[in-house]
Structure 1
Amino acid sequence: MNFDFSEDQKFLANEARKFLSQACTTAEVRKVLNDEKTAYHKELWGKVVEMGWLGAAIPEEHGGLGLGMLEMCVLAEEMGRAIAPVPFSSTAYYLTEAVKLAGNDGQKSAILPKIAAGEVIGAYAASEGPGHPSASNLTTTFDGKTLSGTKIPVADGDIATHAIVLAKEGSGASLVLVDLSGAGVTRKVVQTLDPTRSHAEITFSGTPAERLGGKGEGEMLNDELLNRVAVLFAFEQLGGASVCLEMANEFAKQRYAFGRPIGGNQAIKHKLADMYVKNEVARSNCYYGAWALSTGAAELPEAAAAARVAASEAYWFASKENIQTHGGMGFTWEVDCHLFYRRSKLLNVQAGSPKVWKEKLVRALEAKNAA
C-alpha cells in the first residue's frame, strides 16, 4: 500500500510553501506577537481566502474546491511550518468538518459557501476548564432553541463569527451551531502561552442557536469530529517539528566553538538524530491517519490517536531540543526558537491533550484486539 501523496498534492505543498515563505515569515508572526491589539494577521488571512484554501475540502456544490482531506492534510502541514497566526484550524478544521459531519442540507447550504468565501471565522467551544467535557460535567445548556453557559478557553473565540458548541441537552449532550453576533454573547480575551493564536472566554445567555445532528448525539458527533480534526492538527505539528529540526541542523553546521562546528560534537549529533527519529515516526503515523481520514476507514479512531500522540511528542521534543542546540542564544526573544516552542505547547492541548489521545489509542487497540 502506497501512503505517499500524489504528484498533484506534492505540487500543492510546494506552492503553499513558496507562498507562506514569503507572506508568513517569522517577522510577520512577530507583528501579531508584539501587538496586544492584533488577534491575527488579517492581510495573510485575506490571501489564504483568495487562494481558496478554506474551501479545499468543501464540495463544489457548496462553493468549495472539492479537493479532499488529503489536500487539507498537505495545507495543514505547511501552515504548521509557517506557524501562521490566522484562524485556519478553527475555521477549516472545526467549523467546516462539524457542518459536513452533522449539518442538514439547509445548514450546509447556509454555512459552507460562506466558509469557502472567507465570510465567516469559526471557533470550537467544548471546554469549560480542566477535564474532558462530557454530558456528565457540562454546565452549558441548550434547550432546543437557546444556549446558556460559559466556555473557556476558546481558540479564536474573540474574532470568530460562528462557533461549534458542545452543550448539555436533557440528560445527554448535543452539538450546537451558534452565530456569535446574536443576542446574549459576551467575550473576554484570555492570555495564553502563544499570543499569535488568540483565545477567549465566551458566555452565552439565552443566545439563539441550532442543533447539529440529533438531540443527545453530541458526544458521539464530538468524538467523530475530534478524530477528523486530530489528523489535521497532527500534520500541523509535523510541519512545525520539521522546521525545528532544520533550524537546529543548520545552526549546528554554522556555529563554531573551539575552532570547529558544534555539529561535530557527539551530544549535538545525538540531539539531531533523536529529533529526526521522532519526526519520522510522527510522519508515518500522520500518513496512516491521512489515509484513514480520506477513505473513511474504520481504523480512523486508532489512526487519529496514533498520529496525534506521535506528532505531539515530536513537535514538543523538536522545539525543546532546537532551543538547546542554539545554546545560550536559544531562549532569547530575538531568536525564533521560542515561536515554535510556544506553538508546540499550544497545539499539544488543542482537541485534547496527549494524555487524552493515549487513552483513546489504548481503547481503540483494545476494541480492535477484542473483535
Structure 2
Amino acid sequence: MNFDFSEDQKFLGNEARKFLESECPMTAVRLVLNDDDVSHNADVWKKVVEMGWLGTAIPEEHGGLGLGLLEVCVLAEEMGRVLAPVPWASTVYFFTEALKIAGSSEQQADVLPRIVSGDVVGCYAASEGPGNPTAANLKTTFDGSTLSGTKVPVTDGDVATHAVVLAKEGSGASLVLVDLTGEGVTRKTLQTLDPTRSHAEIVFDKAPATRLGNAGDGEMLNDQILDHAAVLLAFEQLGGASRALEMATDYAKERYAFGRPIGGNQAIKHKLAEMYVKNEVARSNCFYGAWAVSTGAAELPEAAAAARIAACEAFWFASKENIQTHGGMGFTWEVDCHLFYRRAKLLAVQAGAPKVWKEKLVRTLENKNAA
C-alpha cells in the first residue's frame, strides 16, 4: 500500500512552502513573541484566509475548496515548519472538524461559510485544568440553552470569535457551540512557554449556547474530534521537527572549529542521525494516521495515537538537539532555536500529553486483541 501523497498534494505543499517562507519568516513570529499585547500575527492570518486554506476540507456548498483532510495534512506540515503564529490549528483541526462531525446541517450552513471567509475564528474548549475531562469531573454545565463554568487553558481562546465547548449536561456530557463575542463570556489571556500560540481562560456565566449533536454524546464526540486533531497536529509537529533538523545540519556544515566543520565530529553526526531517524519514524506514523483519518478507517484511534506519540517525541528531540548542535549560540535569544523548542513543548500538551495518548493506544490495542 502506498501512503505517500499524490503529485497534486506534493505540488500544494511546495507552493504552500514558498508562500509561507515569503509571508511568514521568523521575523513575523518574533513580532508576536516580543509584544505582550499581540496574540497572533494578523497580517499573516489575513493572507492565509485570502489563500482559501481555511476552507480546504470544507465542502464546496459551504464555500470551501471541497478537498479533504489529506490536503490539510500537507498544509499543516508547512505551517509547522514556519511556526505560524496564527489560530490555524484551533480553527481548522478542532473547531471546523467539530462542526463537520457533530454539527447539524443548519449549524454547518451557518458557520462553515464564515470560517472560510475568516469572519469566524474558532477554538475548542474541553480542558478545565489538569486531568482528562469526563462527564464525571466536568464542572462547566449546559442547561439546554445557556452555559456556565470556566475553561482553562483554551488555545487561541483570546483570539477566537466562537468556541466548541465540552460541558456537563444532566448525568452526561455534551458539545455546545458558543459565540464568544456575546453576553455572558469573560476572557483572560494566559502566559505560556510559547506566547506565539496564545491561550486564555474563558469564564461562561449563563452564556447563550446551542448543542452540537445529541445530548450525552459529548465524550464520544470529543474522542472522535481529538483523533482527527491528533493526526493534523502530528503533521504540524513533523514540519517543525524537519525544519529543526535542517537548521542543525546547516549549522554543522557552516560552523568551523579547529579548522574543520563541526559536522565532521562523530558526536554531532550521531545527533543528526538520531534526529533523522526519529523524524522518519514520525513521518511513517503520520502517513498511517493521514490514511486512517481521510478514509474513516476503523484503525483511526490507534493510528492517531501512534502519530501523536511519534510526532511529539520527534519534535521535542529535534528542537532540543538543534539547540545542542548550535552550542552556546543555541541558547541565545537572537538565534531561532528556542522558538522551535517552545513550540515543541507547547504542542506536546495540546489535545492531551503523550502519556494520555500512550494509554489510549494501549487500551485500543488491548480491546482489539480481545475482540
Q: 1:12-27 counterparts in 2 under 5 A?
A: 12-27=12-27
Q: Which residue of 1 aligns with 2:55?
A: 55
CA distance in 2, matches of 1:350, 1:55: 23
Asked whether 1:116 is paired with 2:116, we answer yes
Q: Which residue of 2 aligns with 1:309?
A: 309
Q: CA deviation at 1:106?
A: 0.4
Q: CA deviation at 1:182?
A: 1.4
Q: Which amino acid aligns with 1:135?
A: A
Q: Which residue of 2 aligns with 1:5?
A: 5
CA distance in 2, matches of 1:60, 1:366: 40
Identity of matched residues, %: 76
CA distance in 2, matches of 1:356, 1:175: 21
Q: Which residue of 2 aligns with 1:155?
A: 155
| TM-score (normalised: structure 1) | 0.99
Asked whether 1:236 is paired with 2:236, we answer yes
CA distance in 1, matches of 2:176, 2:362: 29
Once the two structures are superposed, residues 260-286 of structure 1 have per-residue CA deviations (whole angstroms, 9 ceiling, x without a partner) of: 111111110100000000000000000
Q: 1:225-264 counterparts in 2 under 5 A?
A: 225-264=225-264
Q: Provide the secondary structure at the position in 2 that maps to 1:123.
A: strand
Q: Which residue of 2 aligns with 1:93?
A: 93
Q: CA RMSD in A?
A: 0.5
Asked whether 1:352 is paired with 2:352, we answer yes
Gaps of 5+ in 2: none
Q: 1:52-201 counterparts in 2 under 5 A?
A: 52-201=52-201
CA distance in 2, matches of 1:159, 1:328: 36
CA distance in 1, matches of 2:41, 2:7: 31
Q: CA deviation at 1:103?
A: 0.4
Q: CA deviation at 1:191?
A: 0.3
CA distance in 1, matches of 2:91, 2:258: 50
CA distance in 1, matches of 2:150, 2:275: 40
Q: Provide the secondary structure at the position in 2 that maps to 1:330.
A: helix
Q: Provide the secondary structure at the position in 2 that maps to 1:205.
A: strand
Once the two structures are superposed, residues 288-320 of structure 1 have per-residue CA deviations (whole angstroms, 9 ceiling, x without a partner) of: 000001000000000000000000000000000
| TM-score (normalised: structure 2) | 0.99
Q: Provide the secondary structure at the position in 1 that maps to 2:122.
A: coil
Q: Which residue of 1 aligns with 2:219?
A: 219
CA distance in 2, matches of 1:364, 1:82: 34
CA distance in 1, matches of 2:84, 2:116: 19
Once the two structures are superposed, residues 188-235 of structure 1 have per-residue CA deviations (whole angstroms, 9 ceiling, x without a partner) of: 110000000111100000000000000000000000000000000000
CA distance in 2, matches of 1:69, 1:192: 29
Q: Which residue of 2 aligns with 1:369?
A: 369
Q: Which amino acid aligns with 2:353?
A: S
Q: Which residue of 2 aligns with 1:293?
A: 293
Deviates most, 180-189 or 297-306: 180-189
| Off by >4 Å, runs of 4+ in structure 1 | none
Q: CA deviation at 1:88?
A: 0.3
Once the two structures are superposed, residues 8-56 of structure 1 have per-residue CA deviations (whole angstroms, 9 ceiling, x without a partner) of: 0000000000000011100111011001111111111011001100000
Q: CA deviation at 1:181?
A: 1.2
Q: Provide the secondary structure at the position in 1 that maps to 2:331.
A: coil
Q: Which amino acid aligns with 2:206?
A: G
Q: CA deviation at 1:370?
A: 1.6
Q: Which residue of 2 aligns with 1:333?
A: 333
Q: Provide the secondary structure at the position in 2 that maps to 1:202.
A: strand
Q: Which amino acid aligns with 1:225?
A: I
Once the two structures are superposed, residues 128-166 of structure 1 have per-residue CA deviations (whole angstroms, 9 ceiling, x without a partner) of: 111111111110000010000000011111111000100
CA distance in 1, matches of 2:28, 2:83: 10
Q: CA deviation at 1:93?
A: 1.1
Q: Provide the secondary structure at the position in 2 that maps to 1:350.
A: coil
Number of aligned pairs?
A: 371
Q: CA deviation at 1:368?
A: 1.7
Q: CA deviation at 1:183?
A: 1.0
Once the two structures are superposed, residues 246-267 of structure 1 have per-residue CA deviations (whole angstroms, 9 ceiling, x without a partner) of: 0000100110111111111111
